[in-house]
């Protein structure tokens, strides 16, 4: 009789608990930053994934570059940077097994039936870090690839559904004086005695913009943001350029320096 009472009590408690228990919804993807081990059911698009961030180490030769510095080139000409904005794009993070991971966001140009990964960013030389997007990634990485600039195929795209602040929107994209999409814009102030002159340069789009491969051995835990790093040597942009030389010669040399000497390993 006593065993029956115990069984009956257990049965009643189990029924009450079952009827009162509310199933919990949450993120069930262990790679996500908000992974919930106690949830019963998957939530609807609630998972938050780690951020992929680009960190730029700014150098001037062997020194740390400060954006307020007055600089001197090999012609003993003084100058300082007034503006430098450029596109970075086409990011892939490389795993030891050879697989690649990209950010999970994308944008669509319905006019040209074009879908691209939404990792196009404008980097301002005054920034140390830039968030590229979110990525499903954890564990060890061997390195990453990225492009300095944009492919020329994006020149006539129309991503009209993106926010006005998006790097490829009609409002925020980098443009030259003829309203054409460009890879980068740079202006420096050349100082000669008491006289200063602002010089501006545009980097046009390229059919084959440089793709860079970086080695970076890092290990990221579950839910941890992923930081990738590049080194930018600002000395290499103007050290061999005579500000008093022909403007076309200066522009051509600057474009060459930007493409071949700016990013250092």
- Chain segment 93-138, per-residue pLDDT in tens: 999 999 999 999 999 887 778 888 999 999 999 999 999 999 998 8
Q: Write down the pLDDT at residue 144.
A: 96
Q: Write down the pLDDT at residue 176.
A: 92
Range of the domain at 224: 51-264
Q: Write down the pLDDT at residue 9.
A: 53
Q: Write down the pLDDT at residue 40.
A: 66
Beta-bridged to residue 147, according to DSSP, are 89, 211
Q: Write down the pLDDT at residue 146.
A: 94
The dihedral of CA 34, 35, 37, 39: what is its sign?
Answer: positive
As a whole number of angstroms, the distance between CA 130 and CA 88 comes to 10
As a whole number of angstroms, the distance between CA 255 and CA 253 comes to 5
Q: Provide the percentage of residues in the chain whose pLDDT is more than 90.
A: 61
Residue 19 lies in a domain: no
Residue 31 lies in a domain: no
Residue 22 lies in a domain: no
Instruction: DSSP for 68-131, please give it.
Output: T--EE-TT--EEEEEEEEEEEEEEEEEPTTS-EE-BS-EEEETTTTEEEES--EEEETT-SEEE
Q: Write down the pLDDT at residue 109.
A: 85
Residues 107, 119 contacting (CB under 8 angstroms): no
Residue 86 lies in a domain: yes
Residue 42 lies in a domain: no
Q: How many domains does the chain have?
A: 1
As a whole number of angstroms, the distance between CA 155 and CA 135 comes to 27
Residue 32 lies in a domain: no
For the chain, which residues score pLDDT lower than 70? 1-21, 40-41
At 4 the three-state DSSP class reads helix
Stated as kind and residue range, the H or E segment containing 217 is strand 211-220
Q: Write down the pLDDT at residue 21.
A: 57
End-to-end C-alpha distance for the chain, whole angstroms: 82
Classify burial at 138, counting beta carbons within 10 Å of its beta carbon; exposed 0-12, middle 13-18, buried 19 or more.
buried
Residue 45 lies in a domain: no
Stated as kind and residue range, the H or E segment containing 3 is helix 2-20
Q: Which tokens in the block code for residue 234?
A: 């600002």
Q: Write down the pLDDT at residue 82.
A: 96
Residue 239 lies in a domain: yes
Q: Write down the pLDDT at residue 250.
A: 95
Q: Write down the pLDDT at residue 12.
A: 46
């Amino acid at each position: 009789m006593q065993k029956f009472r115990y069984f009956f009590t257990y049965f009643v408690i189990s029924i009450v608990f079952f009827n009162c228990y509310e199933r919990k919804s949450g993120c069930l993807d262990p790679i996500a930053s908000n992974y919930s081990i106690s949830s019963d059911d998957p939530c609807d698009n609630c998972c938050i994934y780690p951020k992929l961030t680009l960190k730029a180490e700014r150098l001037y030769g062997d020194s740390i570059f400060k954006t307020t510095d007055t600089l001197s080139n090999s012609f003993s000409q003084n100058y300082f940077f007034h503006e430098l904005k450029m596109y970075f794009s086409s990011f892939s993070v490389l795993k030891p097994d050879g697989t690649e991971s990209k950010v999970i966001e994308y944008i669509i140009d319905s006019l040209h039936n074009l879908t691209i990964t939404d990792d196009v960013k404008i980097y301002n030389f005054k920034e140390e870090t830039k968030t590229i997007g979110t990525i499903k990634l954890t564990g060890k990485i061997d390195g990453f690839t990225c492009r300095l600039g944009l492919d020329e195929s994006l020149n006539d795209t129309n991503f009209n559904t993106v926010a006005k602040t998006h790097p490829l929107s009609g409002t925020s994209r980098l443009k030259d004086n003829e309203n054409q999409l460009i890879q980068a814009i740079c202006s420096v102030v050349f100082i000669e005695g008491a006289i200063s002159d602002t010089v501006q340069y545009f980097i046009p789009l390229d059919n084959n913009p440089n793709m860079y491969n970086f080695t970076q051995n890092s290990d990221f835990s579950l839910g941890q943001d992923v930081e990738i790093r590049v080194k930018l040597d600002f000395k290499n942009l103007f050290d061999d350029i005579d500000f008093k030389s022909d403007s076309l010669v200066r522009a051509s040399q600057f474009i060459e320096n930007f493409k071949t000497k700016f990013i250092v390993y």
